[in-house]
Amino acid sequence: MELLTNKEYFSSNTAQYLLNDYYRALTSGPEQFHSVPDSIETLKEIRVIEDAWMMCEEGKISEEILPSNNGEFLDWYRKKLKLLNKNIRGFLDYIENDAPASAIAYYVCMEELVDGSFDDVMALAQLGVNNESKLAIAENYWDEMGKGQFSRIHTEMFSESSSYCKKMLEDLALKLPKDIPTECLMNGNLVTFWSLRRKFIPRLYGAIGLIEGSAPLRFRAVTKGMERCGFPESAIAYHREHIQIDAVHGKEWLQRVLIPHIENDERICQEIARGVLIRFSVAANYYTCIEAIVRERCN
């Protein structure tokens, strides 16, 4: 229990692995009901880590002037999206134009290591919202489900892409890190954490907006890089589909989920903004880490 009193423990690899294992168990299938962690001791341990993490992230943004209404939020939000894309532009240019096939495959496999089952996050995001916002989220979820076609379910498409990439890395004797870097775990843990702990749902909405709004640029770079390196269409399809679909999702999320919640409540507006800022910080650290690993191991 001594570690739990250390305010910095949340940022250790051990703590983030603990959160990752907990969230995976909590969102596992019904056949795993007997393995779902539910003891008071476990819940307390997780809560202490989560609270320390949020206290630190909130401290980082304490000097930020948060928007309080629609008019302020829209311009502020678009600037954050633009800045995030600018910050990762160098890495995406590398993936699109210069990276060898092995680097692209390595990046895809690293993404899979911390994939947070976005379809489950989207399902949880629907709870309790008004019908118009719920419909927008449900449409996003239905896209995640391949509009009812099993082969088009996004997790299935991503699995097909990552399987090809794993085989490439095996053939080249390239191994993924034995331990997932802390920055990667944090990036994967954050939205699952917020989707499961209902107090943070406004922050989740802000984070999803940033994810969906910035995604087309990333998927376009990966698609073009894969095409340049001769990847088969079965490996490209997931990434290609998200160029257009996430452009639509980003606009729909802003207009039908974020704005309706911001319109009449300054507190929700600022909580959504905190979600944007914290996700921005965690994502920035993630991409810095990923770029360094990919360039080091695949060039």
Q: What is the 3-state secondary structure (H, E, C) of 170-191?
A: HHCCCCCCCCCCHHHHHHHHHH
Predicted confidence at residue 2, as pLDDT, reads 45
> Does one domain contain both 156 and 244?
yes
| pLDDT > 90? residue 195 | yes
In this prediction the pTM is 0.94
Residue 19's nearest CA partner among 190, 155, 268, 227 is 190
Q: What is the mean pLDDT of residues 51-76?
A: 95
Least confident of 6-15, 88-97, 173-182, 207-216: 6-15
> Does one domain contain both 80 and 23?
no
> Does one domain contain both 278 and 201?
yes
Q: Are the beta carbons of 199 and 272 closer than 8 angstroms?
A: no
> Does one domain contain both 228 and 138?
yes
Q: What is the mean pLDDT of residues 215-241?
A: 97
Predicted confidence at residue 6, as pLDDT, reads 61
Within the chain, where are the H helices?
A: 13-26, 40-60, 70-87, 89-93, 101-113, 118-125, 131-144, 154-171, 182-196, 201-229, 233-253, 259-262, 266-298
- Give the whole-angstrom CA distance, residue 249 versus residue 252: 5
> Does one domain contain both 243 and 197?
yes
> Does one domain contain both 94 and 240?
yes
- The mean pLDDT value of the chain amounts to 94
In the chain, how many domains are there?
A: 2
SS (H, E, C) 13-26: HHHHHHHHHHHHHH
> Does one domain contain both 92 and 15?
no
> Does one domain contain both 54 and 73?
no
Q: Which of 19, 42, 60 is the last residue of a domain?
A: 60
Predicted confidence at residue 7, as pLDDT, reads 66
In the three-class reduction of DSSP (H, G, I as helix; E, B as strand; rest coil), residue 11 is classed as: helix
22-43 pLDDT per residue, tens: 999 999 999 999 999 999 999 9
Residue 53 belongs to domain spanning: 1-60
| pLDDT > 80? residue 1 | no
> Does one domain contain both 55 and 97?
no
> Does one domain contain both 56 and 165?
no
At residue 16 the predicted structure's pLDDT band, cuts being 50, 70 and 90, is very high
Predicted confidence at residue 116, as pLDDT, reads 63
Predicted confidence at residue 8, as pLDDT, reads 82
Task: Give the angle subtended at the CA of 60 by the CAs of 127 and 185, to the nearest 5°.
Answer: 60
